[in-house]
Amino acid sequence: MSAKKKSDFLTYKNKPLVRNGNTLYYGNMSDPFVIMFQIISTKKVNDMEIADKVSIQLLNTDPNADPRDSIVKRSEKNGLYAAMDIGSIWLERALESK
């Protein structure tokens, strides 16, 4: 029997997804880039609050980088699914180019 390593984080497309309030971080902080999602507004659907407007930012994780250059790309999408879809594409492309 082989023991599987239990992850402490949720994953999406094999990368960690960590939530802190209305902010989600997607990717490994040890990688050159991560995605930050900020839920700007929510709406009620069948007694559940779901993300309505979501800000997406591709962030450079280099601690020596100029803070003004840490945001590589940004956009805003309607719904978390659309935001995560574009965010995962941005992150894959950014990591491939490094």
Q: Let me know the angle formed at the C-alpha of 77 by 37 and 30, rounded to the nearest 5 degrees.
A: 25
Q: Where are the domains of the chain?
A: 11-97
What percentage of residues in the chain have a pLDDT greater than 70?
93
Sequence-distant (≥ 6) Cβ neighbours of residue 50 within 8 angstroms: 42, 43, 44, 79, 80
For position 6, what pLDDT does the model report?
A: 53
CA-wise closest residue to 72 among 50, 85, 87, 83? 87
Residue 1 has pLDDT above 90, yes or no: no
Q: What is the pLDDT of residues 78-95, one digit of tens each?
A: 999 999 999 999 999 999
Q: What is the mean pLDDT of the chain?
A: 89
pTM of the prediction?
0.85
User: Cβ distance 27 to 91 under 8 Å?
Assistant: yes
d(C-alpha 19, C-alpha 15), whole Å: 13
Provide the pLDDT confidence category of residue 3 given band limits of 50, 70 and 90.
very low
Of residues 92 and 68, the one with the higher pLDDT is 92
